[in-house]
């Protein structure tokens, strides 16, 4: 069963990014009923403090780490605050980047979206977020950027993102994310021969980097 964890970089109840992630949840539930989708609430995490980390993890941090460590993929929705990711999201990712050398983000498939009431859809927050994920060696999903502009106009009366154009873009992001998960699962699958030993890799079996990347350099 594929496990997906949704992380919204906004704490607002009426957040357009959280609405986009709820649409992602509906898309996954409708198209992949065997998958599980849970949200990671980041507002309960304390500010990162190396002393607190050294003294032992708080329950909220431990729970966040465990959720991410058990996920096949993350989908992160970020607002753009002054051209960057909100501090609350950076804080959560800083916690998740620890401990050094054993971050639950390492090797994790991660897809990124942004949404904003403005005309740029919060896209200016995405490069730094992707760089941050790269530096934690997450496997970022390669996909044309999903930056939902005029996002407040794409909500229905119940505050749900049901607008056709937005849902289409989110569906494509979900497809790319599941494709990345499948590629990673295939790459991690141990190869067995009738004699038990794995054969040497063939040059033509080199992992495809068409839809998954861990490096943006």
Ligand X SMILES: Cc1cc2nc3c(=O)[nH]c(=O)nc-3n(C[C@H](O)[C@H](O)[C@H](O)COP(=O)(O)O)c2cc1C
Residue 3 tokens read as 């496990």
When the beta carbons of 89 and 136 are compared against ligand X, the nearer one is 89
Does residue 17 touch ligand X according to CB under 6 A? yes
Between the CA of residue 109 and those of 65, 116, 213, what are the distances in Å?
A: 15, 24, 9
The Cα–Cα gap between 114 and 120 comes to 9
Query: Min. distance of Cβ 149 from ligand X in angstroms?
Result: 8
Q: How far is the CB of 6 from ligand X (least distance, A)?
A: 13
> CA-CA distance, 162 to 179, in Å (whole number)?
24
CA distance 6 to 217: 26
Residue with tokens 């859809």: 121
The interface mask with ligand X, positions 155-194, x = CB under 6 A, is ----------------------------------------
Among the listed residues 12, 44, 209, 216, the single contact to ligand X using CB under 6 A: 12
In the complex with ligand X, the residue whose CB is nearer, 80 or 109, is 80
Residue window 96-125: x/- pattern of binding to ligand X, with contact defined by CB under 6 A:
--------------------xxx-x-x---
Kindly state the helix (H) or strand (E) to which residue 51 belongs, with its residue range.
Answer: helix 50-54
Residues pairing with 140 in the sheet: 110, 213
Can you tell me which of 4, 6, 7, 16 binds ligand X, judged by CB under 6 A? Answer: 16
Residue ranges in 27-86 that form contacts with ligand X under rule CB under 6 A = 79-83
Spatial neighbors of 96 by CB under 8 A, at least 6 apart, are 64, 65, 68, 103, 104, 105, 136
Residue closer to ligand X (CB basis): 103 or 126:
126
List contacts with ligand X (CB under 6 A): 10, 12, 15-17, 79-83, 116-118, 120, 122
């Amino acid at each position: 069963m594929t496990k997906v964890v949704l992380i919204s970089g906004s704490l607002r109840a009426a957040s357009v990014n959280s609405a986009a992630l709820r649409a992602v949840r509906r898309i996954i539930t409708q198209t992949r009923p065997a998958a599980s989708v849970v949200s990671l609430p980041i507002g309960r995490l304390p500010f990162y403090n190396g002393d607190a980390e050294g003294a032992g993890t708080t329950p909220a941090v431990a729970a966040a780490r465990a959720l991410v460590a058990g996920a096949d993929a993350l989908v992160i929705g970020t607002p753009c605050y002054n051209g960057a990711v909100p501090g609350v999201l950076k804080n959560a990712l800083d916690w998740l980047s620890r401990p050094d050398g054993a971050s639950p983000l390492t090797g994790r498939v991660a897809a990124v979206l942004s949404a904003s009431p403005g005309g740029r859809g919060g896209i200016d927050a995405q490069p730094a977020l992707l760089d941050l994920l790269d530096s934690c060696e997450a496997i970022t999903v390669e996909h044309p950027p999903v930056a939902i502009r005029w996002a407040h106009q794409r909500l229905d009366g119940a505050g749900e993102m049901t607008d056709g154009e937005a849902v289409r873009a989110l569906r494509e992001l979900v497809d790319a994310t599941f494709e990345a998960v499948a590629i990673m699962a295939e790459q991690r699958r141990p190869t067995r021969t009738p004699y038990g030993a794995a054969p040497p890799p063939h040059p033509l079996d080199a992992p495809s980097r068409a839809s998954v990347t861990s490096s943006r350099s």
